Amino acid sequence: MRRNLGFKSEAPRYSLLAFDAFAFKKGLTTINITRELAEEWCGRRPDEATDTWSHRNCFLRQLSIYLVNLGYDSYIPSRVFGKHDNFIPYIFSDQEIQALFEACDSLVLFDKHARSEIMVMPALIRMLFSTGIRVGEAANLLNRDVDLDHNYLILRNCKNGKDRMVPISDSLAETCRQYRKYRTLLPDNSDHFFVKLNGCKCLANSFYLWWSKMLKIADIRRRGKVPGPRLQDIRHTFCVKSMVQLAKEGKDLYYILPILSTYVGHQSLAATDRYLRLTSQMYPELLSQTDSICSYIFPELKYRPND
Q: Where are the domains of the chain?
A: 1-86, 94-217, 233-296
Query: Amino acid letter at 267?
Result: Q
Please report the pLDDT score of residue 90 as a whole number. Answer: 85
Q: What's the average pLDDT block by block, 10 residues per block, for the chain (307 residues)?
A: 69 85 91 91 84 85 91 87 64 93 91 84 96 94 95 87 89 96 92 94 90 92 69 90 83 77 76 65 56 43 52
pLDDT of residue 298: 41
Residue 229 preceded by cis peptide, ω within 30: yes
3-state class percentages of the chain: helix first, strand second, coil last, to nearest 5: 50, 5, 40
Count of alpha carbons within 13 angstroms of residue 240, beta-carbon side: 22
pTM over 0.75: no
129, 7, 109: which is closest to 59 by C-alpha? 7
Class of domain 94-217 (CATH, top level): mainly alpha
The pLDDT of residue 179:
96
The amino acid that residue 70 corresponds to is L
Q: Is residue 106 classed as helix, strand or coil in its secondary structure?
A: coil
